Amino acid sequence: MRRLDTRIRTIFVALAALFVFAGARAGYLGTVRADALGTEASSQQAITSKVPAPRGDITDRNGTELAVSEAAVDVVANPMIIKSPADLAAKLAPLLGSQPEELLPKLSDRSRGFVYIARRMPAEVGDRIKAMHETGLSLEQTMRRSYPRGQQAGQLLGFVGNEGKGLSGLEYAWNSELQGTDGQRTTVSDALGRPINVADNAMVQKGRDIRLTIDAPLQDEVERVLEGVGRVYQPKGATAVAVDPRTGDILALANWPAVNANDVGSASAYAQLNRASGFTYEPGSTFKSFTISGALQDRVVTPDTQFDLPVELQVGDKTIHDAEDRGPETLPVKEILSKSSNVGAAKIGMRTGAKRFDHWVREFGFGSPTGSGLPGEEAGIVLTPEHYSDATLGNMAMGQGLAVTPLQMIQAYGAIANGGILKPPRLVSEVGGKQLDNSGGHRVISPQTAASVREMLKGVLGEGGTASSAAIPGFDLAGKTGTAQKVDPQTGTYSDSKYIASFIGFAPASKPKLLVAVVVDEPTGEIYGGQVAAPAFSRIMAWALPYLGINPQ
């Protein structure tokens, strides 16, 4: 009996002690640790997360979608709790479009508790991964940029990086407008992790939509023509730009090789470059139009002024001769342009004089970016008169010794086509539903001078001109061929095998509504602008003129 009493007392004391301890513990947690535990409980139940904002859409002039945002997921892993990295890599690889051996190192690195396995995957891929219910694998909601028309205008549009910022092209140049503002959301869950309340602390603000001047069907056709140039002449690259010279609106801007903006990483650095604005070259004979425009405006020549042209012209240490063999002849200015005489252009430039020649070069926009809004636009290279050698003026007058971009050439020819008014090329017409001002531009030559040069340029496509094969029956075309040697970077001298072939022209010649430039970098087989670039110009014009409602004369 005494032993039983002892046991009861022992149990009673133990229970009393346990009760005292529990009370003391409860008091401690309820007073001393109350705030800290409340915070921990709140953080365990309430999770605040970012709600990614869609970027603004980019469309063509008619509203066709060129770049859009869509829901996506980042695939995240915690290698510290993944049971079989090899098995998981084998399951994930087909879904992510990769190989198991590419994923395995990330999934096996147990020194890390967080690692991105894939970024910005389509939402449907996320649904399939979620259905796997794999321990150590999770998804983060985000947005991805998609280019519905694939490789169309890839270099122009550019692309967006993993952090949602534009990294090249218009995506980069207009990032501040296109990028929206992320929202913030708090989700309260119960003990089993089920959401019981969702509150948006800050609302998502989508980026502003941008409407381009580009016409998607015309862009497609220009890209098809350049693809044909690439197939036939195997050049290093080719570029074409189509513009309405009355407004400066760029209707098409294409580069070959093409780049798919959905897969930029597979393209070379050269292919990714938008060469319309980022590539400089010596323009060759296409520049003679400005030599003659300045001389006409200064009234040092007229279209009928005769020049005696020797077989060769010595200017400083340079001997200038024409591309075609000929004897001494006398030609008027208009035929010097249509037959593309180097000797004639050099003599006209020297009659103009270095100071006025430099004035006209810069007045037509050379030596400065066009202001197109494209990132990384080159200014070109134009010497000032104090840096001219004895040969510089004659050399530049025929399109050598200076560097230009295709956009600069389009802008300058636009002044001739547009009655003497130089307008900067324009790519963006509307931002956030608001029309952008397009009233810029200034006069560089008189309407009479512009009309005279347009009339001369018709001869280039006429009988005996350097691009007679590019004529289109029923249409009144004008333009100029160019064939320029490239400088060999190894020797610093002109190459005997690498050329730039180009053509730039407009229609109708009397009142131009469409201006097109084609520049081909290092064609093989044929090298002349009249053989390589002019036919491409003709094919673009033949498709574009009826499409734009421009009727034959």
pLDDT digit string, tens, across residues 113-140: 788 888 888 888 888 988 888 888 888 8
Residue 92: count other Cβ atoms within 10 Å of its Cβ.
25
Domain at 216-547: CATH code: 3.40.710.10
Q: Which residues contact 128 (CB under 8 A, 6 or more apart)?
A: 95
Q: Within a 10 A sphere around the Cβ of 125, how many other Cβ atoms?
A: 18
pLDDT given at position 205: 87
N- to C-terminal Cα distance for the chain? 129
Q: What is the pLDDT of residue 523?
A: 97
- Look at residue 29 in the predicted model and tell me its pLDDT: 46
- Among 285, 338, 340, 372, which one carries the catalytic annotation? 285
CA contacts within 13 A on the Cβ side of 343: 23
Is 84 labeled as catalytic in the residue annotation?
no
Per-residue pLDDT, 74: 86
The tens digit of pLDDT for each residue in 321-330 reads: 998 888 999 9
What is the number of other CB atoms lying within 10 angstroms of the CB of residue 10? 10
Other beta carbons within 10 Å of 550? 16
Distances (CA, A) of 225 to 232, 238, 268: 11, 10, 21
What CATH architecture applies to the domain 46-77+143-212?
Answer: Alpha-Beta Complex (3.90)
Sign of CA dihedral 348, 334, 454, 449: positive
Give the per-residue pLDDT at 552: 84
pLDDT at residue 139, rounded to an integer: 85
Decide: helix, strand or coil at residue 273.
coil
User: Of all helices (H) and strands (E), which one includes residue 140?
Assistant: strand 137-146
- Going from the first residue of the chain to its last (553 residues), give the mean pLDDT of each consecutive group of 10, the final group possibly shorter: 60 57 53 53 57 89 95 87 87 89 87 85 88 85 90 94 90 94 66 55 84 98 98 97 97 96 89 95 96 98 96 92 90 94 96 97 97 93 95 95 97 98 96 92 97 94 80 91 89 89 95 97 94 96 96 81
Q: Which residues of 33-67 are buried (b: 16+ CB within 10 A; e: fewer)?
A: eeeeeeeeeeeeeeeeeebbbbbbbbbbbeebebb
> What's the rounded Cα separation, in Å, for the pair 42 and 108?
33
**CATH 3.90.1310.10 residue ranges for the chain:** 46-77+143-212
Task: Give the CA-trace dihedral at 409, 551, 510, 365, to 10 degrees.
Answer: -20
